[in-house]
Amino acid sequence: MSSASFTILGDVNVEVTITEVIDPVTGLTNLEFQVNVLDDTGSIGDLNAPYFDLANDGVTDSLSVEGDDVTGSAFKVDGVSKIDSYTNMNGEVIKDLGRFDGGVQFGTAGIGTDDIRSTTFTLSSDDTSLSLSDFSLQDFGVRLTSVGEEDGSRDGSLKLGDTAPDLTPVEVLAIANDDKLVVQEDESFNFDGFDFLDNGATSLLANDTFDGGAYTGQVTDINGAPFVDGQVIVGSNGGYLLVSSNGDVDFSSSDEFGNNDFAYLGQDEVGTTTFEYAIDGGSMATLTVDVIGIDDGLPPPPPPPMG
């Protein structure tokens, strides 16, 4: 779900936030608009109506709107300057930006019955998914009535117009980060347990990120093959790895027959093997396993024969 915000500036500033929302019934993507009157200029106003253009004029005739404060709407390609006699954008904004493709009316005229400073509505198409891109770099207008200081007469009105910034969603990718594990030559599977990585975690995913936060997905590939829970993976230089669906790791130096791939190591010698894994979005990282040789307790070789 992508979201973007921008502010239409004027004597009263109005913030617009657009969020993509999937309709659970139709499966299409709708757009939820949050419109807020800001109180940072010394004046406020009653939200009467936002107006907007669309990048894709072809969807205009299929649009509809829902919202608790919605009392009217109009949709026509380059043909909307008003919704009723009091909800109009005629004047300088229309001269500068031209007529809009759509408009949504809130409440009633003036603040005798309501005083809308913040409201939400949902824009949908009956046959097409909408996206932030539909409003990227498009013209917006806002009609405000009952404009003035909070405790003043509020007898003014405003018609504001501006162009939205680039709202094209930026794809956020999960990032996999390398891990390291240090074990001894005689390491074997725990099966119902796990091994601690050198950062203190048990999972390969503990240091992976998504949009600056923790990655909450799963391992998708191991050594270039689709991940299968419980499958034993062979390292680049021997050794065997079990990875659980949550990224926990369990390493063994020996195969199922007891053949130790690191039996050649002498005391404190190090053998290294690696495993590659991927996460959602395709980012890859490497688990490096250092295997430390130990004294196997074998008797010393016999002395050479006497000459």
Residue 29's CATH number: 2.60.40
Q: Please indicate, yes or no, whether residues 41 and 67 belong to a single structural domain of this protein.
A: yes
Domain boundary among 163, 184, 202: 163
Burial class (CB in 10 A: 0-12, 13-18, 19+), 301: exposed
Q: How far is it, in rounded angstroms, from Cα 92 to Cα 52? A: 16
Q: Please indicate, yes or no, whether residues 238 and 127 belong to a single structural domain of this protein.
A: no
Q: How far is it, in rounded angstroms, from Cα 103 to Cα 81? A: 8
- Which residues span the domain enclosing 217? 174-292
Assess if residue 48 is contained within a domain. Answer: yes
Half-sphere exposure of 46 (CA within 13 A, CB side): 21
Q: Please indicate, yes or no, whether residues 22 and 125 belong to a single structural domain of this protein.
A: yes
Q: Please indicate, yes or no, whether residues 149 and 8 belong to a single structural domain of this protein.
A: yes
Tens-of-pLDDT digits for all 307 residues of the chain? 688 999 999 999 999 999 999 998 889 999 999 999 999 999 999 999 999 999 999 999 999 999 999 999 999 999 999 998 778 999 999 999 999 999 999 998 777 788 999 999 999 999 999 999 999 999 999 999 999 998 888 999 999 999 999 998 766 689 999 999 999 999 999 877 899 999 999 999 999 999 878 999 999 999 999 999 888 999 999 999 999 989 999 999 999 999 999 999 999 999 999 999 999 988 999 999 999 999 876 555 566 666 5
Q: Please indicate, yes or no, whether residues 182 and 118 belong to a single structural domain of this protein.
A: no
Assess if residue 102 is contained within a domain. Answer: yes
